[in-house]
Amino acid sequence: PDEMPSTDVASFVQYLQSARRIVALLGAGLSASSGLPTFRGAGGLWRTYDATRLATPGAFKADPGLSWQFYSYRRHMSLNAKPNRAHLALAELARRNSNFLTLSQNVDGLSPRAGHPPEQLKLLHGSLFDVKCWDEHGCGYIRRNDFSDPIVPALALPTVDEGLSADSQLKEAIRKKNHALIRGADISDINVNIPSLRRDDLPHCPQCKENLLRPGVVWFGETLPADVLSDVSRWFQQPENIDLILVIGTSSRVYPAAGYTEMAREKGARVAVINMDPGDAREMTKHDWFFEGDAATIVPEILE
Ligand code: BJW
């Protein structure tokens, strides 16, 4: 009790080889080295807004134009980002072991694009690439859209030659070889102006032709997708023990996702946490391993 977790890769690898039922809980830190910002801590601001405050039904209701600009920007960035070596290593583990299940809080589409078998990947917080009718009591329209960027012309990123600060953004993008931003200005920068959009300019539901469309992500106060929750419960409720949970790049603050670590432990799982920040490895003394650093480097190393 009260012992610090091991940092020994060899003992982890040895245990991994004997582990059968394995679950991974993924958070935004997994995609950080693909160039996508996390929610909390550095990079958690979009313009002057706290990203977690934009992720609510109230924020969409109050200013659907702003909300769509935020989500359209993130769709654009995610489409132009590449899965990193950690996404690939997890997809590979899933292909090797049909008893391995991934629970991802990420909405960026990078695990699917890394070739993760879809039946072993549960998207707890939905996807940026689903769009659905805004009204939950409404028409129920939902479609996959990972081909329109932007979804409507009004959401096009301002072109980079519109003003000086946008120009410096372009230079910065070229310097960083950030192709996602070379053709459009970085509207996460408060110095780049964004227009106020009218309701008519925003994506509308093609089915009921009345409501706006919204991104198919899970906002605070909303329940997680029912099919995802029941698939996950079923996996946890199987009579066999769970051998291992990998907790990768998440601050473990958001529920019910964060609760899966304790649930796995109760089913016998050893816990391995991979995070840049030891402060975000909750209840550190309960973990069996802690690997500090960039998930994109560590995950492929320990899953080899
Ligand atoms: C690196 C790295 C590198 C950086 N390498 N690491 C029980 C107790 C208290 C509250 C609740 C509770 N149960 C439910 C609630 C309410 C609420 C909640 O959890 N609130 C807490 C914050 C207090 N939960 C909900 O509302 C959920 N719904 C629900 O429970 O429904 C039933 C219900 C309804 C009403 C009342 C009660 C119950 C829904 C949660 C939806 C979360 N949605 C978001 C937005 C998605 C859309 C979008 O993308 O815009 O999901 S919020 C945001 O947080 C996003 C993320 O998936 C989620 C988790 O964040 P994550 O991934 O952990 O990212 P960060 O940024 O926090 O952390 C990054 C980590 O990576 C850090 O640790 C870094 O150190 C690390 N890192 N670089 C490795 N290179």
In a domain, 177, yes or no: no
Of 262, 268, 156, the residue nearest 203 (C-alpha) = 156
Q: Is the pLDDT reported for residue 221 higher than 80?
A: yes
Query: Exposed/middle/buried for 92, CB within 10 Å: 0-12, 13-18, 19+?
Result: middle
Cα separation, 150 vs 165, in Å, equals 22
pLDDT band at 47 (very low <50, low <70, confident <90, very high): confident
Instruction: Give distance in angstroms: CA of 199 to centre of ligand 1.
Output: 29
The residue whose C-alpha atom lies closest to atom 73 belonging to ligand 1 is 251
Answer yes or no: is the ipTM higher than 0.95: yes
pLDDT digits (tens, 9 = 90+) for 133-176: 998 777 999 999 999 999 999 999 876 654 445 566 666 766 66
Please return the burial class of 116, using the count of CB atoms within 10 Å of its CB with bins 0-12, 13-18 and 19+: buried
Share of the chain above pLDDT 70, in %: 91
When comparing pLDDT for 157 and 120, which is higher? 120
Q: What CA–CA distance (Å, rounded) separates 209 from 117?
A: 35
Going by C-alpha positions, the residue among 148, 132, 131 that lies closest to residue 140 is 132
Ligand 1, pocket-test mutation among 25, 36, 39, most atoms within 8 A of CB: 39
Where in the sequence numbering do the catalytic residues fall?
125
Residue 58 lies in a domain: no
> What single DSSP character describes residue 48?
T
Q: Which residues line ligand 1 (CB under 6 A)?
A: 27-29, 32-33, 38-40, 52, 55, 105, 107, 125, 217-223, 249-251, 253-256, 275-277, 280, 294-295
The two most distant CA atoms of the chain are separated, in Å, by 62
- In a domain, residue 65? The reply is no
Confirm or deny that 133 is annotated as ligand binding. yes
On the question of pLDDT at 69 being above 60, the answer is yes
Which CATH number does the domain housing residue 292 bear?
A: 3.40.50.1220
Residue 276: pLDDT over 90: yes
3-state secondary structure of 269: coil
Distance CA 74, CA 97 (A): 32
Q: Is residue 13 part of a domain?
A: yes
Residue from 76, 224, 254, 297 to probe ligand 1 pocket by mutation (most atoms less than 8 Å from CB):
254
Q: What is the extent of the structural domain holding 248?
A: 1-36+83-125+224-304
Number of domains in the chain: 1
**Residue 119, exposed/middle/buried by CB under 10 A (0-12, 13-18, 19+)?**
exposed
Cis link prior to 150 (omega < 30° from 0)? yes
| 55 touches 217 (CB < 8 A) | yes
Average pLDDT score over the chain: 92
Domain contains 14: yes
Q: Is 137 inside any structural domain?
A: no
Give me the DSSP letters along 130-186.
EEEES-TTS---EEE--S-SSSSGGGSPPBTTSSHHHHHHHHHHHHTT-HHHHSB--
User: Does 233 reside within a domain?
Assistant: yes
Residue 273 placed within a domain: yes
